[in-house]
A and B are shown apart, each in its own frame.
Chain A
Amino acid sequence: MGERGYSVWAWLLQAFTGLLLVVLVALHMVANHFAKRGLLTYRDVAALFADPYWLVLQLALLFAVIYHGLNGLRAVILDAGLSPAGARRLDWALFALGAAMAAYGVGLALSIGGWLGSR
């Protein structure tokens, strides 16, 4: 537990991703809910994921939400009081979960956007 400085970065990144999410989630909601007066169809979604600019924004949202949400969950669980060994196990578990979510989200975006060449 003696890793000094590490907690500073975790907190700063939580604050930074939070501020970033204000913008990214707002754009996401506008594109998915408000731009077309109704929800998007499959074609709309595929077109969005095929647009490289939109893809980057979407993946930024994906990564920001994964870090922010899981680090937030980490804070909640640490608040409950964990042993140093328990905290290390928690970090690994959350890291694995976050990596799986990221892999799934990137795979989904790339394949629906037609970036993998199959469609």
Chain B
Amino acid sequence: MSEGEARRRPDWRAWFAPRGRRTGMWAFVLNRITGLLLLAYVFVHLAVLSVLFQGPAGYDRLVRWMSSWPFLLFDVALVAVLLVHGLNGVRLVFVGLGAGSHRQREWFWAAMAAAAAVFAYTTYLILAPAWR
């Protein structure tokens, strides 16, 4: 690198700047955000499970609380995040090795269509018991 030139600075805001960009960029933004959300969920999930050490009384109180509407809606959202990240992740495993990468855009929409279908079914499964 030649001397005296201004050295640029790392700019991670570019990760979340999809304006004017295309499908692959949106898929990347979604994958990154959902991956980090899932990781955050796992931390919280493991921490909350420590209530199990309090035995049945403490845990079953927690479960009753977690069976309330707001929490079931949270579960619905969690499943959506999982499906988006997981099914796009399957696409990335193959595309990342050059298999089907010429069709990466189509595979993204295929993954999202599959995610939507599974999401409809699991949403029904999660919310149906709460109606009874």
Give the interface of A toward B (CB within 8 A): 11, 15, 18-19, 21-22, 25, 29, 33-34, 37-43, 45, 65-66, 69-70, 72-73, 76, 79-81, 101, 104-105, 108, 111-112
Contact = CB atoms under 8 A, between A and B. Distances in A.
Given A33-B125, A41-B56, A21 B86 contact: yes
Contacts of A104: 46
Given A42-B60, A66-B42, A73-B36, 17 more contacts: A11-B96, A18-B89, A18-B93, A29-B79, A33-B126, A34-B122, A40-B63, A41-B56, A42-B52, A42-B56, A45-B59, A69-B35, A70-B39, A72-B35, A76-B35, A104-B46, A105-B46
A65 B56 CA distance: 27
Contacts of B122: 29, 34
B82 interface: yes
Contact of A15 (B79, B96, B125): B96
A19 B49 CA distance: 25
Contact of A39 (B36, B63, B89): B63
A33 B75 contact: yes
Contact of B39 (A72, A79, A80): A72
Interface residues of B, number: 36
B105 interface: no
A25 B89 CA distance: 13
A31 to B, nearest CB: 13
Nearest to B55: A42
A19 B90 contact: yes
Contacts of A39: 63, 66-67
A37 B129 CA distance: 6
Contacts of A33: 75, 125-126
Contact of A76 (B32, B49, B60): B32
B129 A69 contact: no
Nearest to B64: A39
Contacts of B59: 41-42, 45
